[in-house]
Homo-oligomer: A and B are copies of this chain.
Amino acid sequence: MSETIASLKFGDDGLLPAIVQDDDGGDVLMLAWMDAEAVRRTLTSGRVTYWSRSRGEYWRKGDTSGHRQYVRSVASDCDGDTLLVRVVQLGAACHTGERTCFDGRALPVVVGDPVTD
């Protein structure tokens, strides 16, 4: 376990981003941050723990809101500096009460097309 965590690359602030994806359906729910201890807790406890940059404390998702996240799988990326956490999400993932933190927040884009562009 400690070897697994030691292989990850944390930023200068000791954190790496964790992408959280709904294991049922594949929606991207949110992105939050973990230090080595938050990763250890997430890998070993079945529940997802983050480091809150704003509050400066560990934050086990759902302890206050009831919107718990149960770990289904965790993968690192090719550089070892990002995690993808697949979860069973109870209730809303976003503190606003929306299902995902990205709901209703589309930006205006020019859509690309692989055939014509």
Contact = CB atoms under 8 A, between A and B. Distances in A.
Interface of A: 1, 4, 17, 19, 21, 25-28, 30-31, 42-47, 68-79, 82-84, 87-88, 90, 94-96, 98, 101-102, 105-114, 117
Nearest to A26: B26
> Which residue among A17, A76, A109 has the maximum number of chain B CB atoms within 10 Å of its CB?
A109
A31 B111 contact: no
A75 B31 CA distance: 13
B74 A101 contact: no
A7 B97 CA distance: 21
Given A17-B31, A78-B101, A46 B112 contact: yes
A108 B43 CA distance: 7
A114 B111 CA distance: 39
Given A73-B109, A75-B105, A76-B102, 12 more contacts: A1-B108, A19-B28, A26-B26, A30-B77, A69-B112, A70-B117, A71-B111, A73-B106, A77-B102, A77-B105, A78-B96, A78-B101
